[in-house]
Amino acid sequence: MPHPAIVKDNVAVITGGASGIGLAAATAFARAGMKVCVADVDVTQLAEAATKVSSITAATNVMTLAVDVSTVERVTELERAVRQRFGGTDVLMNNAGIQPGSTLFGEPDNWQRIIGVNMWGIINGSRIFAPGMIARGKPGVIINTGSKQGITTPPGDPAYNVSKSGVKAFTEALQHELRNTKDCRVTAHLLIPGFVFTGLTAKGRTEKPAGAWTPEQTVDFMLTRLEAGDFYILCPDNDVPRTLDEKRMLWAMGDIVENRPPLSRWHPDYADAFKKFVERD
């Protein structure tokens, strides 16, 4: 059975919905008979997304809006526009994200933009939409797109890691708040994609690498795990099975418990120990 919020005539809002995982989600929700609002900063891609989603459902069931999710006022306008057009929101997917790359001592404006979109965008969306979703008294879902990099925090892109670590902590707090709110039928979930071939990860490539999943595979997996009630929707891909993800995450937490150096997985003194840990049954 599908999740009770993902049903015909209910309303889904997807930020970062004009491409990649967001667009795959928008088309999946449209196929389920839902009314869909696609929000994105890219006006050209928004128009293309509207055409694609409208080929699945009636054009009257589709709306788009150009939104910078890092700005409270714009997210507030989005919530108001959806309420005026469709009556409210049943599924909110805070998916907008950027990954231009970062260095620890790089330009502060770059850090501000990454954290503004990736973390504050999710905080803004959740805080602005959730009260109205709760008030509807219906089953509802908030899906926040995180990253494995927000859990294992590999070296090389610190601003992105910080933003996605914040998404994990915020979404955990959000679900705790929702489950302790009287008469609330809205739940929060953390989507943790694997290697997905999108504009964010293509890096100039035009063909999907063998190790990557498509956005559609990722969304199909997400919907299946939503039906199962998972909070942590940890996606595998064609290269990395769940068992390896689990060991990488357990090792990362072990840095604290075992009092190892931070990011010891990449520390030469711990290379053999990590290799043996991964190979252990």
Cα–Cα dist 25/206, whole Å: 21
Residue 160 annotated in active site: yes
Give CA 230 to chain center in angstroms: 14
Task: Tell me the pairing of strands 140-145 and 62-66.
Answer: unpaired
Amino acid, res. 147: S
Q: Which of 71, 82, 116 is nearest to 97 (CA)?
A: 116
- The secondary structure of residue 239, as a DSSP letter, is S
Give CA 245 to chain center in angstroms: 17
Q: What sign for the dihedral angle of Cα 10, 12, 18, 21?
A: negative
Long-range contacts, 226-234 (Cβ 8 Å, 24+):
226/3, 226/6, 226/141, 226/143, 226/189, 227/1, 227/2, 227/3, 230/189, 231/175, 231/187, 231/188, 231/189, 231/190, 232/189, 232/190, 232/192, 233/143, 233/189, 233/190, 233/191, 233/192, 234/148, 234/192
Considering 120, 129, 160, 197, which one is annotated as catalytic?
A: 160
Measure the CA angle with vertex 221, ends 161 and 17; round to 5°.
60
- The secondary structure of residue 116, as a DSSP letter, is I
Asked if 178 contacts 186 with a C-beta cutoff of 8 angstroms, the reply is: yes
- The secondary structure of residue 120, as a DSSP letter, is I
Residue positions annotated with a catalytic role? 160
